[in-house]
Structure formats: structure tokens, C-alpha cells
Amino acid sequence: MGALETHIPDRFGEDIFSNTSYAHSLNSACAVRGAAALLARCQAPTVSKIKLNCGVGAIGSIVMVTRTFTLFIVQSLVAGAALSASTPSIVHIDDATVIGTSDGFVTQFLGIPFAEPPTGNLRLRLPQPIQREDCLNINVIVPAGTSPDSKLPIAAWIYGGGYQVGSNAVQPGNVIVNRSIELGQPAQCFRFPRGAEVANAGIGNLGLQDQRAALRWVQKYISAFGGDPTKVTIWGESAGSQSVAFQMFTNGGNTEGLFRAGFMESGSALPTGNFTKLQSTFDFIVAETGCSSARDSLECLRTLSAEVIITAMDKTPTFLSFQALNTPWMPHADGVFLKDNPQMLVLQGSVADIPFIIGDTEDEGTLFSLASLNITTDTEFSSYGDFIFQAPRRFLLDQRNGKQPLRSFTSNRAKVPGLGAAHSTDLENVYGGGDMADYLIRFVATLNPNGATGINWPEYTVDSPQLLAFVNGSTRSKSSRTTFVSSRRSS
């Protein structure tokens, strides 16, 4: 199929206000098929003609069920970076020995602990340095034969799921590492509590703190796996994309040297307020778990089993319930990690001065709107995703253009009947063999997404607020408002 990529002026009122569907399972199936096909094509002698580009690298998820992290180390453009497959899949970090598995193309080190498990007395506390096993863990996936002196760039993936569900097992990370080799660029457990008690304890947005702890682990240990700690790009989709933004906004915009770029798919600066406004949610959880009469409700919650807390949390709204994305589990200002409303932080200039790419699907809100009886017209249906997705993206671009290198995109592929190019449909273009993966991998390796394949992706500026649009088709056309430039990949 021909791939038509377009440059579209992105001004207020000129974008299509769109909607979303949560089609992660569909995209996961596509990703698996893409990975299998890619591995077969990788054996071809002329890799420059390989069409498939795949997948994403995962560092982190801060969702409230499984909190594992994954790193993808991508092959560098540097001459002489070709790696021998003879290197043993064994890495030593401090007193630990980490053993990986390899299929001849990539080596995977799975389930490496980076912090203590937030259970028992450590529940509702900041992440603690590791002392034992069974804790917050991270996956590292590298090109086969990578050695400690390879110094390859890193894509740190933060998966989505509305801060309520998700796993780093959904997207197969070997896909993006394989594609990077072809291109020559190998690149919850109640962690978002709310309320006055949480504010007084300084433990709001613990999931974001978990991500930060993982990034610090990367700085300390990734060299042993062949990664370059100075070349980390944090990247995510949906809640993971929002998390990338929050990592950029915290600490006055000071990255602490933890990452040098950001890549965001369907998530930006949420217009949320202070989390103390969600006191009723905390009170509900305390009541449902039998901790209402306790002198210290936080200590009481720490003594409970995870099952008791999860049962209570399951009775609160989710991102697929009537109030949709206005759930109590979204990150809010906590006075610690996010010192103010995220959009106020942007206005105050509390943004990391790094290159970033941000984009949305064309119909971000459609699926979420299905749970709301207030959506009664086609116009309301088609504009439902603008408040959470499109408008915050434009806001961030508007505030930061001219201050740092920016690029933006819109995805109009993989449409779902009745829902259009819904939320998360762009993942197929990364994990399932699409050209977005090429742009991502080059960006991780060089901070510039442009290269030998695809049309040029211009920076987003005040004078030229252009998007790269991923759409289906293979013709050239022009209109007064939009310039379409076709780019067909070789078969």
C-alpha cells in the first residue's frame, strides 16, 4: 500500500477536531505479525530494500497494575558500529549477574529490578533503592552482540493505559531494535493516591516518581549493556505520552541529565488542577478498605493486601466509564513532582530545553465518547478528543516554538469503522511495520528524524506551523490550505 505523508498547516481552528478509540489489543496483534515478518526479512542480503520498520522501545509504565519498565538500545549511525554476535549475553552490575536471551538478532534482559516493590510498609511511599528481588523492574533489549563499549542510543518506552491498566509486554520491543539494525541506527499498585493526607505526606504522583527512579537506574547501569546514558530519548503513547511531558515539566525543566529528547504520541500537558480536589476519592478508598476508623489511614492502607485495594479502586471511574478521561487517577499538581497545574508550568517556562516530537491521531476521542450519554450529535462526537489531546498539543507547541526544536504529526491511518483514526491506531505504524518507526529511530539516534527514507519532516515554527501527516494514498495534490506530498515506500 502506498504511504502518503503530508504537510498540513496546524493553526487553531484548522485542524480536524477528532476523537479516539482504545484499540491496543488490535494494534498488539498487528505488531506481532509485523515482528514476525520483519525477522524473516532481516535475513535478506540487501537490507536497504527492506520495507518493514517496527516498533517502540519501552521504559516505563506508571500505571496502577503492572509497573515494569523496558529500554530499547538502538544501533548507532556511527561507522564501525557493526556488532559481533559472539558476545555472551551476560552483564554484571554491582554484585548482580544479569543473563539475557538472544535470537541472533536481539538480546533481551527481562525483569531487572530497579527499586523495591511498593508493597506492605513501602506502599504509598517514594520508590526505594533495591535491596532484594520481586520489585519494580525494567527490561533491556539490545542488538545481539552489543558490548559495554558500544555506546548505543536508547529509546525509553512508557506505555499507555489511562494510568489504570497496561504492561510492557503488550508491544514487542524486539521489533524496534530489529528495525534499527536495518536502518543502521539500533536505538499499579495504587501509585496515584489523592487527598490531603497524601499531600501532607508528600507522596502524590508516585507513579511518575517510579519513572524517574527508572531513568536514574539507566544512568547508573545502562553502559554495562552497551547503551550510552547521554543519549536517552523518553517516548510514550497515551498516558505514557503524557508522562513524557510531565518528566519534561518537573524539577523546573531540569532533566538532571536523565534524557536528551522526547517523543510523544497522543498525550501532552493536561489541564488538571491540584489533586487535593479529589479528596472524595481517597475517602472512598479508605472507607471501602475498612480503614476509616484508623488513626493513620495511610498506615492502614499499607497493611492491606493488593487485592483489597484493587477491589476498591475498581469501583472508581475508569477512562472507559461515563466521565471518560476525567478520572481521579490522572496525574495532578501535587506540590512535589508537579508543583503546579501542568499547563501553568508550561506558561512559567518549566519545560526541559530539549528537542521533542508530539502528535495525535485524527480521531482521538471517538471511543471514549461512546460511554457518554451527553454526546448526541455528530459534531460533538467528532470534537470529543480535542480537550484532552489536540488542544493541549497545540498549546504546548504554541508556547515552546522558537525556544527549542519541535516537530508535530497527525495520523490518519488504520481507521476503525465508525471510529475513524482512533486513539492508539498510530501504534500499528510503529510496531506493525510502518514508516513512523524510521522517523522515530533516526530521532533517537541523531535528534533528527529525517534520513534516506521518507519525505523531509520540517520543524514546527511560528511562521510555518506544519505537521507531518501519515495518511493512505499515493497521489500528489494541492489545495489552498493543505499541501500533500506523497512518499511511497519500496515494496
Is 77 buried (19+), middle (13-18) or exposed (0-12) by CB count in 10 A?
middle
Q: Are 220 and 142 in contact (CB under 8 A)?
A: no
Quote the DSSP letter at residue 209: H
Question: What is the crossing angle of helices 174-183 and 436-446, to 10°?
Answer: 70
List of long-range contacts for 377-380, beta carbons under 8 Å, 24+ apart: none
Q: Are 67 and 306 in contact (CB under 8 A)?
A: no
Is 138 buried (19+), middle (13-18) or exposed (0-12) by CB count in 10 A?
buried
Measure the CA–CA gap between 299 and 91, rounded to whole angstroms: 39
CA angle 206, 210, 211 (to 5 degrees): 120
Cβ neighbours, 10 Å, residue 103: 11
Distances (CA, A) of 237 to 61, 75, 166, 322: 10, 22, 11, 22
- Nearest to residue 183, comparing CAs of 426, 427, 440, 357? 440
Measure the CA–CA gap between 140 and 259, rounded to whole angstroms: 16
- Nearest to residue 194, comparing CAs of 295, 324, 310, 285? 285
Measure the CA–CA gap between 308 and 117, rounded to whole angstroms: 17
Contacts of 209 (CB under 8 A, 6+ apart): 126, 127, 337
Question: Which ranges of 348-418 would DSSP assign to H, the alpha helix?
Answer: 366-369, 378-382, 391-400
Query: If you search the block for the grid coordinates 515554527, which residue do you land on?
Result: 461
DSSP string covering 28-93: HHHHHHHHHHHHHHTTSS-GGG----------B---SS--EEEEEEPPP-STT----TTS-SEEEE
Is 463 buried (19+), middle (13-18) or exposed (0-12) by CB count in 10 A?
exposed
Whether 297 is a known active-site residue: answer no
Q: What would the grid cell of residue 19 be?
A: 476523537
Q: Are 61 and 172 in contact (CB under 8 A)?
A: no
Catalytic residue among 150, 223, 238, 424: 238
DSSP string covering 426-443: THHHHHTT-THHHHHHHH
Q: Are 163 and 207 in contact (CB under 8 A)?
A: yes
Residues with a known catalytic role = 238
